[in-house]
Chain A
Amino acid sequence: MTGGKFEAAHEDLSERRVRLGRWLFRLATLLLIAVVALQTLDAAGVLTIGFANWRPVLYTYIFWGVALGSSQILTRGEAGQQAAFVLPALLFTAAMVIFPTIFGLYIAFTDWNLNAQSGHHFNGFDNLRTLWGDSYFWNALSNMAIYALTVLVQYAIAFGLALLLNADIRARKFFRVAFLLPFMLSPVAVSWMIGKSIMENRFGPAATFARAIGWENPAFFTSPWIARTSIVIMDSWVWIPFIVIMLLAGLQALPVDVKEAAKVDGANRWQSFWEITFPLMLPVSVTAIVLRVIFELKLADIVINVTAGGPGGATDTISSFIYREYRDRSNVGYATMIAEVYLIIIIIFVTLLLKALGRFMQKMT
C-alpha cells in the first residue's frame, strides 16, 4: 500500500490470456451493440423481428457486464480483480441512474402526449420554449423560492429545540421521542389531520381558537399569503424534527472542555453560544440546511392534498405541477422536461448554496 492506495502486485500475464480477455470484451460489446440495434430497429418498425419486450437487451447487458469483468481479470490480473469488485456497483448505477436520466432527457425533447394520435416524436426545443412561457411554471418556481427561504426559520426553531433537548431538563427522553413524532407521520396523514381537520374553518380547533382571539371568519386557505403560511406551518411541523435530530447529534458530539474553558473565562450564555457552540455546529448546520432545502424543493404531497395548488396557484409547487401535467394531462414529454429543468435548477442552486455556506463558515471560523 502506498500513498493510501492499494497497488496490485506485478504479474506476468501470458499474451494468450490477455488476447483472450480483449476478444471476450470485443465480442460481448459487439453482441450488445447488435442486440440494442436490432431491438431499436424493431421498435421503430424498420425491421420486423417481433421482439415481445426489451428483455433481450437486459440479458445482453448482464452478459456484457460479466464479460467486462472477466476481461478485466484476464487482461490485468490482480488489478483487474480489484476492478471486478467495483464493476457490479458501477454497472448497476449506470443501469438504474445514468440510463434513466439520459432516457429522461430524450423524452424531455419529445412531443409525447399519451392521447395524441401521432404518438411521440422529437420536437427539439419546443418543450423548453413552452416552459419559458409557462406562467404556471414560473408561479410555482417563485413559490418554491419562498418555501426554500422558510428553511432558515425552520432551522432557527430546530436549533432552539435541539439546545433545549440537549440541556439537562426533566423528562428529556420523553421530549426527544415526542418531538420526533411528527417526522414519523406521513405528510398525507398530516394533510388530513391538520389541513383538513384541525384547520377546518367550521369546527377545527385552530379555527375555534382563531375565533376566540377575535378572527371572525377564520379561513386558512382562502387568501394567498395565509394559505402559503398554513402550508409552510404543516410542512415545518413534519420536517423540523429532522433538523432537530441532526443538530442534537452535533451538539452531543461537541467537546465539553471548550465550553467549560469559556465559562471559566467568564463568557455568558449568549457569548458561549454565539462564539463557540454556533461556529462549532456549522458543519452539521450546513448539512442539515442543505438536506432540508433539497427536501423542501420536492414539496408536493401536502399541497396536492390540501389546496391542490390554490388559491389561484398561491401554494402551487413544481412537483405538484408536474403531477398534474403527467397524471391529469398525460403530458409525458413536457412533464419530463419540467422535471429535468428543475433537476438542473436544484443542482445549480445547491452548488451555489454550498459555496455560499462554505464562505460563511470560513468567515465565522
Chain B
Amino acid sequence: MRLQVYEQLMAMQASRRQLMKGAAGAAAAIAANGSLALSATPAYAADSIVAQIMKIPGAGNGSPTDADWQKVGELCLEPTKATVQPGEFKGIEFSFMGLNNQNLHNFLFRGFLTPWEAYTGAKIKWIDLAQADYNARLQQSIATGTVDFDIIEMGAPFEGDMGVKDLLSEMPDWVMKQIEFDDIVNYLKPPVGAWNGKIHRVTIDSDCHTMNIRTDVFSDPDLAKAWKDGGGKGDWGPPKTWQQVLPINKFLKGKKVKGKDVYGFLDQPKPWGGFCFYFLCSRATAYAKYPGEKNWLFDENMKPQVNNPAFVRAIQDVIDCLPYEPADQINADPGTTAFQQFLTGTGSLLEWWGDIGTVAKTSDTATIGDALSFDILPGSDDVYNFRKGAWEKLASGPNIAPNMAYLGWGIYVMKTVDADSKRHKAAWSAAAHLGGKDLSMWTSAYPSGFQPYRKSHTNLDLWALAGYDKKYIGSYMDSQSTSYNHPNSAIEPRIPGIFQYYSIAEDELQKTFAGKETAQQGADNIAAAWEKLTDKLGRENQVKYYRIAMGL
C-alpha cells in the first residue's frame, strides 16, 4: 500500500495491538462466504517463537520500541542460525535503501537486523528516504546506472523497472526454504515478485482494495423503512454490485443518522501521484476483468482497454455519483476520503486498502468505532468481454474481481552482490530474516506499515495473543483473504513506467470529473496518451515486458 497513507495512519495510531480489542459488535460474520478457512484452533505451541513474539511488548504496554524490535529480531534468528555460522559475514558491509516514514519501515528493519548483524558479523549502511523522494531517487538510480544500494525495500509495481535492466539478484533455493515461500498467499507468487521466470522478491506485505461498510447506517431501521417506502430494490443493506451503489447514494443524500449528515459511497476524484487511478480501477474491475482472462488494463499487445465500455461505465458511475456525495468531493483524494471523511463519520461506503479496519479502532480522531464491517469489492451484474466486444451475464451470477492494488512491499537484493558469494549469501540472509514467517506475523499485528500476506496469518488465535478481538479481526481478515484468494482478482501490469500511465490517467480523469469532457472522451484521451507513452518508452519492449509481467 501507499506509504504516505501509513504516515498518516501511524501518526493517528496509538497502538495497533489494541486494535480490535473490545467490542466489535457490528463486525461481519467470520468467514461468511466460506472462501477462507480461518483457523479456530491454535496451530502453534504455547512456547513457540511466534507465541512469544506476539506478546512483545504485549497489550497495554504502549507502542513497540527499538528494544522490542530488537527482541523480536533476536527471537526470530533461529532460521538464520540454521544456515549461517556465527561471525560468518565478518568484514562484509552492504547498504540497504528503504523508507523512513513515521519511524516505521527502515526503523523496524534496523531493530530486526541488529541481532542479525551481531550474530553474523556483517554491517549494514542505511539509506533512508522520504516517500516523496522514493520514486524519483529509484528511477534516477536505474536510468543513470548509479545503483548505490545492495538491498532495497520496493513495491511490486517497480519490478518491471528493475527487471528489464537485469538489476536484481535471483532468490536462492535456501532462501525460499527459509522464508517458507509456499505459505505466502498465491497472488503474491510468480509472476508477481518475479521477472522473466526468476524469483527476486522476499515478500513482506500485501495490498488489495476491499469495501469498508458503516454497519450503523445499513442496520438503521428508519433508513430501512424509508428505503422500502421509497421503492428501493431489495432489502436495505450494503451493495453487492456496483449497480446498487448509485441508488444508495441517491437515497442517502440529505438523510441523517444520529443527527449527522450521512452519505453513501465516497469517490476519490483528485489526483494522488498516480495512486488515485487504483480507485477508478477498483470500480472498473468487476465490469472489465473477465473470468479466466488475465488482461484487463491492456490486451496482450498493450492496446489500452481503458476506453472500452467497461471503463467508460466506471467513469460514468463516478460522474453520476458525485452530485450525491459531500459538496467538495471533487477535491477529495484517497487520503481525504479515508482519514478526513470516512473515519470521522462522513460516508458509509469506502473502497480502500486494509488500513481502515485497523485505524478505525486505534485512532483518537476516528469516530466510527465499532460500526464497521468489511467485504470484498462489489461485483457487477454483467461483465464486458473485450474479446467479443460485448457485455455478458455470467451463469454463476455477478462478476467479482477484486483489485490487488499495488501488490505490497518486498525486499529485493541487487545483482551487484552476485559476484562475491559471501556478500551474496549475506545480503540474501538479511532479506530472508526480514521476510521470515514468525516475524511476518508480528509485523501484521503491530505497527509496521505492512499488512498480512501469508496463509498462516489467518490464524486468529495468534492475533488474539496481541490483544485483538477475534470477531472483528475475523471479519477484517475474511475480506482480505477472500480478495487475496479470489480466482478472478485483477493484477496490475508491472511494466516499466507503470506509474506514468497512472499519472496521465489521473490528469485526464480530473478534467472528466470536472465536466470538461464526457466519460468516453476522457477515456479516449487516456488511451491515446497511453499509446503515445508506450511508443515513447519503446513499444516493442513494452509489449514484451507486459507479457512477462502478466505471466502470459
Contact = CB atoms under 8 A, between A and B. Distances in A.
A324 B503 contact: yes
B274 A328 contact: yes
A279 interface: no
Given A311-B510, A312-B513, A115 B496 contact: yes
A108 to B, nearest CB: 16
B274 A312 contact: no
A222 B327 contact: yes
Which of A117, A219, A307: most chain B Cβ within 10 A?
A117
B435 to A, nearest CB: 27
A220 B328 contact: yes
Interchain residue pairs A-B with the least CB separation, the first 9: A312-B514, A115-B497, A328-B503, A221-B331, A219-B327, A311-B514, A114-B143, A201-B328, A114-B139
B326 to A, nearest CB: 7
A255 B187 CA distance: 79
B531 interface: no
B164 A117 contact: yes
A329 interface: yes
B486 interface: no
Contact of A116 (B135, B346, B536): B536
B243 interface: no
B515 to A, nearest CB: 7
8 contacts: A115-B143, A118-B538, A202-B346, A308-B271, A313-B516, A328-B273, A328-B503, A329-B500
Given A313-B510, A328-B500, A222 B328 contact: yes
B140 interface: yes
Contact of A310 (B164, B270, B274, B497): B270
A33 to B, nearest CB: 25
A136 interface: yes
A311 B327 CA distance: 13
Interface in B238-289: 261, 269-274
A236 to B, nearest CB: 20
Contacts of B261: 202
Interface in A308-365: 308-314, 324, 326-331
Interface of A: 111, 113-119, 136, 196, 200-202, 217-222, 224, 227, 306-314, 324, 326-331
Given A202-B346, A312-B514, A327-B135, A116 B538 contact: yes
Given A115-B143, A221-B331, A324-B507, 11 more contacts: A113-B537, A114-B497, A115-B161, A202-B346, A217-B327, A227-B331, A308-B510, A313-B516, A324-B503, A326-B136, A327-B136
Nearest to A328: B503
A39 to B, nearest CB: 15
Contacts, number: 113
A310 B139 contact: no
B499 interface: yes
Given A111-B536, A330-B500, A311 B139 contact: no
B381 interface: no
B538 A308 contact: no
B216 interface: no
Which of B271, B326, B331: most chain A Cβ within 10 A?
B331
Contacts of A324: 271, 503, 507
A329 B503 contact: yes
Interface string B384-420: 0000000000000000000000000000000000000
Contacts of A222: 327-328, 330-331
B521 interface: no
Nearest to B275: A328
B112 to A, nearest CB: 31
B514 A113 contact: no
Nearest to B346: A202
Contacts of B140: 114
A50 to B, nearest CB: 13
B330 A221 contact: yes
Contacts of B164: 117
A324 B340 CA distance: 24
Which of A111, A201, A202: most chain B Cβ within 10 A?
A202
A271 B537 CA distance: 66
Given A115-B500, A117-B537, A329-B504, A201 B326 contact: yes
A118 B497 CA distance: 13
A228 to B, nearest CB: 13
A139 to B, nearest CB: 9
Given A201-B326, A307-B331, A328-B499, A312 B510 contact: yes
Contacts of B455: none
Nearest to A308: B271
A139 B333 CA distance: 22
Nearest to B525: A135
A120 B219 CA distance: 59
Contacts of B328: 200-201, 219-222
Contacts of B515: 312
A311 B326 contact: no
Interface string B125-155: 0000000100110011011000000000000
Contacts of A200: 328, 340
Given A201-B328, A202-B346, A116 B537 contact: yes
A202 B327 CA distance: 8
Contact of A308 (B326, B333, B500): B333
Given A115-B161, A117-B538, A310 B346 contact: no
Nearest to A204: B328
A111 B330 CA distance: 34
B511 interface: yes
A298 B406 CA distance: 33
Nearest to B511: A312
A307 B510 CA distance: 11
A219 B326 CA distance: 9
Interface in B330-348: 330-331, 333, 340, 346
A116 B539 CA distance: 10
B271 A309 contact: yes
B8 interface: no
Interface string B352-390: 000000000000000000000000000000000000000
A205 to B, nearest CB: 15
Interface in B461-516: 496-497, 499-500, 503-504, 507, 510-511, 513-516
A116 B161 CA distance: 10
B331 A117 contact: no
Contacts of A111: 536
Contacts of B161: 115
A113 B139 CA distance: 10
A105 to B, nearest CB: 19
